[in-house]
Structure 1
Amino acid sequence: MTTLLEVQDLTKHYPVRQGLLLAKQVGTVRAVDGVSFRIERGETLAIVGESGCGKSTTARLVLRLIEPTAGTVRFDGQEVSGAALRTLRRRVQVVFQDPYASLNPRLRVADTIAEPMEVHGIGTPESRAARVKELLGLVGLAPFHAQRYPHEFSGGQRQRIGIARALSVQPELIICDEPVSALDVSIQAQVVNLLKHLQRRFGLSYLFIAHDLAVVHHMADRVAVMYLGQIVESAAKQAVFANPRHPYTRALLAAIPQPDPRRRGLVKPIGGDVPSPMNPPPGCRFHTRCPHARPRCKAEMPTLREIEPGHTVACHFAEVLPPHVAAAEDGIAPVAAQRLALYAAARARRMEGRERPEI
């Protein structure tokens, strides 16, 4: 595989000001602080972490919706800046978290999906109208939906419209910013499976941001774990779930609901609160909550280093931590399987014609 997106030392700091005319800077919010990763063609990289860790800010920096303080973004080997931005807009699209806020309530669905094609000068009015009908079919909607307004659809249908809009300019990379977190569980399974189907059909790459580790387990090829603006662990999905090497990753997996009562309590959940990004602790930023913290952790910031092929960790003592209690894989598999079963059952009913499609 070849690298499609490469992010190097991406940083975003927000100045905190006060006083007359906000002229005095009194601090800095380190929203994203030196993030690096890459995405190969046809691959899904998931970024996970607690709320406020910088996941969505990273996505906006990649899209250049906000300007970075430092760092570089290279798409297909070319640095994204200046004249290259317009090309990036067409080749990289986004599916937003909130399907209610991401659509213009004054535009019909046909206009919403056709608008990116008009902006980039793709096709004629007739070909764009045909493309809209084709895209609606791809995402499981009917042609007559093109003349309706967003308020006439459910949350799952609106997210499908957002996916159709993202596909309209034939992108190579789609950034999914928590695309299923606002949906019901049964609808989540449908949308996730739709994204997987579209990836196989068109060879898409995804930057997938999510809280739900069951969704990540089903969707991702590789996982990057963020904490307080920094990536603390990155590896293939199987390695992260079966053998996490950073204490924070283990804490996230310990928070997964465990259906087997005999296995509950094997791993203690994470304690404490996330420190302020305006005043992060010295050394390792996780040491204030880490059960394995040592004096070195408080004094020296760990670097993200490779401890196994393809597995990087920012922890001084990753190699000597106690063995991981593998309860997360057992807990997450039934959740993912249940969602897949819901989708399979709904699809079977539709194939038999016993009920109207639940979209």
Structure 2
Amino acid sequence: MTLALKKMNPETKPEKKKLFVFLAGIGAVGGTLLEQIRELDHPHFELEIIGFCNSRYTCWDPVAEQLEDPTALCCGAKTDWNFIPDILKERPENDLIFVDATGSEKAAKVYTDLLHHGVHIATPSKLANTFEQPYYDELNRVSSNGKSFYRFETAVGAGLPVVSTIKTLLNSGDDINRISGVLSGTMTFLFNQLEAGVPFSQAVQNAKINGYSEPDPRDDLSGEDVARKFLILARVSGLNFERDQIQVDTLVPENLASLTTEKFLQELPDYDSHWKSRNAQAMVNNRKLRYVGEFTPKGISVGVKEVKTESPLSNLKGTDNLIQIYTKRYADSPIVIQGPGAGKEVTAAGVLGDIIDIGGLV
């Protein structure tokens, strides 16, 4: 059959490009991502899992049965972050993408080494981008050489296009003047629960049960998650900031900070009256409580604020985030991005989008 006839034949389909994925972390987000990859029927790409790991075990070249039940990791050796990068660098596959869904500092520390050796990275983890400024700069430098690509859209707004929007603005010659808003779906959920009359401690339990919070809710309540997100936004905007420059308002009572997670949740009802009173006072002022962050070239601050009822922040429901981006060109009327900012499905889908994005570049 001639090439022309092949093009005319509707039964002839172009061969899909194969992308090879190593998935680090098979918890809520990683496990959901694995399911989405297995169900994906993309017209241009075929994804193959060459390995996966959790904090204990690593499985290389898994068979179908192991991918169906990745938590049964008796198939692999002990996870060793001194060893995994060497294996990945020696793999024969081209177009290899390392996906880090672990939240592990050890995993985040291998990024530059992998990028140097042509391994691409997609991650929802905030850690690598919030280490010391020189490490972030090195990530940018290495991933700008056109040989390896680094995507972290979901590190800020789950599936929302926040990072990519800022990069597009900067690439067009615009300048970022201010970014403000709510970047914690967990906090939105908690304050909506308070408005509905749910005690604060029960709201925290509900967030944990529904998978909106980290396994230890203090990781959200401390404000550290939001602080890291705004630190990333500041750095993506082209400015140098370190974590200790951020003012953070924590919701974790000082005397509960060092308890086990179970004990923390048991003791938290002692503070229900405080949050009931604070929420009531906001209502008297015709305002609502929200956990708000703001970044300008002068600094970053995150914390609980009473927002006016006419503010778009007051109308957030569920786990919604809302980001307002003020720039040189959008100085009076900001760019607004709103949508779910928590949840394993939207986060995993965002990571999958980053993987496909990388596939289109390699």
Asked if Structure 1 and Structure 2 have the same fold, meaning a TM-score greater than 0.5 normalized by the shorter chain, the answer is no
Length-normalised TM-score, structure 2: 0.34
TM-score scaled by length of structure 1: 0.34
Q: Which has the higher helix share?
A: 2
